[in-house]
């Protein structure tokens, strides 16, 4: 079965959870979380859960666990906490859950970021993987990074990724 055949099976509507990791954002100031949810909805997908948690290992793990236990959720998209600052611990919180990594997600994101922001893109630790039959994608928290990832990577492949994981 070729790529075109696979894409014919891609889900047209995927239920997602959005987790914003930030010490300062609220439901009123979370522009990146709002952007992810808007782009998902415009792409025909649904947001069945949304949370904002602090840059704290236990809080992030708790939010991931809740989303993994939610039978409606097929994709978890986290934003924030993927840099190299001391408080950036999203990657450390998420990696223990991952059964498989989607190495190309982070690689491709950094490549596209490099085209936009230059060498600073190397400091992004954006990751993707599979845990308990669900896709988890972790993005930087900036609106520009979110827009790039959603438009160029996630929305074009989200239905295909879920189909692959579930088959």
Q: Quote the DSSP letter at residue 24.
A: S
Residue 1 has pLDDT above 80, yes or no: no
Structure tokens at 46: 């649904």
Residue 104: what pLDDT?
97
Is the pLDDT at 27 greater than 90? The verdict is yes
- Global pTM value: 0.96
State what percent of residues in the chain have pLDDT above 90: 93
* 31 Cβ contact partners less than 8 Å away, ≥ 6 residues apart: 143
pLDDT tens sequence across 140-149? 999 999 999 9
Distances, alpha carbon 147 to alpha carbons 57, 65, 153, in Å: 25, 26, 10
> pLDDT tens-digit profile of 97-130?
999 999 999 999 999 999 999 999 999 999 999 9
Cα separations in angstroms, 33 against 18, 25, 108: 7, 10, 21
Average pLDDT, the chain: 96
Q: Is the pLDDT of residue 6 over 80?
A: no
Q: What pLDDT, on a 0 to 100 scale, did the predictor assign at position 14?
A: 98
State pLDDT tens for residues 50-83: 999 999 999 999 999 999 999 999 999 999 999 9
Of 167, 147, 140, 134, nearest to 49 by C-alpha is 134
Mention every residue, 6+ apart, whose C-beta is less than 8 A from residue 35.
143, 146, 147, 150
Under DSSP, the state recorded for 97 is: G
13-166 CATH? 3.40.980.10
CA nearest neighbour of 157 among 6, 1, 15: 6
Whether 70 and 48 have beta carbons less than 8 Å apart is answered as: yes
Which residues sit opposite 136 in a β-bridge?
76, 129
Confidence (pLDDT) at 5: 66
The ranges assigned to domains in the chain are 13-166
């Amino acid at each position: 079965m070729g790529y075109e055949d696979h894409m014919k099976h891609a889900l047209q509507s995927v239920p997602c959870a959005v987790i914003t990791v930030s010490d300062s954002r609220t439901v009123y100031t979370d522009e990146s979380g709002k952007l992810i949810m808007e782009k998902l909805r415009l792409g025909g997908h649904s947001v069945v859960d949304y949370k904002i948690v602090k840059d704290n290992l236990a809080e992030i793990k708790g939010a991931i666990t809740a989303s993994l236990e939610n039978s409606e959720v097929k994709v978890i998209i986290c934003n924030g906490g993927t840099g190299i600052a001391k408080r950036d611990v999203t990657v450390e919180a998420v990696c223990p859950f991952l059964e498989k990594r989607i190495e190309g997600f982070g690689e491709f994101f950094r490549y596209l970021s490099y085209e936009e922001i230059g060498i600073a893109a190397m400091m992004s630790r954006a990751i993707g993987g599979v845990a308990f039959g669900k896709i988890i994608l972790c993005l930087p928290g900036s609106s520009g990074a979110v827009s790039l990832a959603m438009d160029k990577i996630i929305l074009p492949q989200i239905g295909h990724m879920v189909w692959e994981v579930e088959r």
